[in-house]
A = this chain, B = another copy of it.
């Protein structure tokens, strides 16, 4: 079919990029005027998926349209994620067109209708997810289909492999590379820096990359950053590990299993646990990190991710089986997930706990020390540095004789120099309204309290616990202390506490 009219230029017209300053997590957003000529030419409307192109880069984005002066004629205003991924400057000409059709959605639809997916089909899905081509609706459909008919072992293996393949991979020139991971966060459960110090002090290689907090009051990288630089490039990580056998670095410089971050966000919104996804999520990061042996901490408790011993055992068995497909030796340790670990919750407050354990101080939190020793013991055994059954004692000895503390200081120096974690300006106790026994501690609300006090942005902010489950308290006795840098943040946290009397439950 040919037109009889003179054709207009075949290249679609461009718009000028404008930075909107809008934060929308991973989601790329473009805002264009309702009367925009490109919208009309391309048949675009609000909530269309659009392809933004500039200087050889392409980004898929959700289009919103706007009236009034939010966007000027000839402009396309971009969210931070779109702006950064497209790599444009103010006024850069960008092309906007319909998003190309997404062939891998046919795989999602087949999965919805009960067909198993093979490695190639899962690879296609994961590639499109990583490229940002899936909307929330598409992501939720894939994850729901994988929960309605759970991923079988082969699918879990294939999904894990696909998630590894789309990201960076690290390689180490040693046969044994040890790693650890905790399934489902528990406030204050910051064992990683202690475990790395113990394991590296015993001659094993443990190059640990950790995340920053997303919705929690602290990630391992946030805590470690109060003690030493963690924003290391790949060459620095390599040098630190060559020199000291271990590191505790932020994973941001390397992109291990980037699809995982996208899946996790949707799973959180849906509040659906899909075992296959969880396994692929955890193991893809470890495999991509080049680990040969991994210790998995599975906290079990009424407000933890895993609620029963039976569920923890089943999950552990499947983790070990899938890991074996990749030559990764995994050990699962079920731990108590009924209350926060240690005293501090918040980057610097957790760092103070870590220092107390490493320095064998009399006031150290015994639960944190013991958890770290259990996990480090398992790592020493699986990595061949201790006989079966002898790992825990070796780990405790490595703490007691100061070798872990020495190793930790050397790692901090290698990462750029050790520093003293800050202290908050304002500390205020929350006290028991009556006498009795502590029968319940709500992990989720404790975390929220620490965040209101300013964590993790304010490094020194957070909560310190004065009580544990089973403790008897008198009326007026401190239950926890709030740490904040400003009186405003202190007030927010106090106000939340007054509205939530069930953060810590006391029975008479």
**Are B23 and A67 in contact, with the CB atoms below 8 A?**
yes
With contacts A2-B430, A2-B433, A20-B66 known, what are 15 further pairs, Cβ within 8 A? A1-B504, A3-B498, A4-B430, A22-B64, A23-B34, A24-B47, A40-B452, A40-B489, A112-B148, A113-B147, A114-B148, A135-B269, A137-B270, A138-B140, A141-B270
A67 (CB) vs chain B CBs: closest residue: B21
A235 within 8 A of B: no
A503 within 8 A of B: yes
Tally of this chain's copies: 2
Alpha-carbon separation in the docked complex, A25 to B19 (Å): 23
Alpha-carbon separation in the docked complex, A492 to B7 (Å): 9
**A109 — which chain B residues lie within 8 A by C-beta?**
270-272
CB distance from A211 to the nearest CB of B (A): 16
**Are A137 and B494 in contact, with the CB atoms below 8 A?**
no
**Are A24 and B1 in contact, with the CB atoms below 8 A?**
no
**Are A25 and B1 in contact, with the CB atoms below 8 A?**
no
Alpha-carbon separation in the docked complex, A5 to B430 (Å): 9
20 contacts between A and B (CB under 8 A): A1-B432, A1-B503, A1-B504, A5-B490, A7-B495, A8-B491, A10-B499, A20-B70, A21-B69, A23-B65, A23-B66, A24-B46, A25-B46, A37-B488, A40-B492, A43-B451, A43-B452, A136-B136, A136-B140, A140-B140
A431 within 8 A of B: yes
Contact with B along A129-161 (1 / 0, CB 8 A): 000000111111101110111000000000000
**A14 — which chain B residues lie within 8 A by C-beta?**
none
Closest 4 pairs between A and B when the two form their complex, measured CB to CB: A140-B140, A21-B68, A148-B148, A144-B144
A105 within 8 A of B: yes
What is the interface residue range for chain A against chain B? 35 or more
**With A3-B430, A148-B144 given, is the CB distance from A66 to B489 under 8 Å?**
no
Contact with B along A468-508 (1 / 0, CB 8 A): 00000000000100000000111110110111010110100
A429 within 8 A of B: yes
**Are B494 and A8 in contact, with the CB atoms below 8 A?**
yes
CB distance from A133 to the nearest CB of B (A): 13
**A240 — which chain B residues lie within 8 A by C-beta?**
none
Contact with B along A9-31 (1 / 0, CB 8 A): 01000000001111111010101
Contact with B along A240-259 (1 / 0, CB 8 A): 00000000000000000000
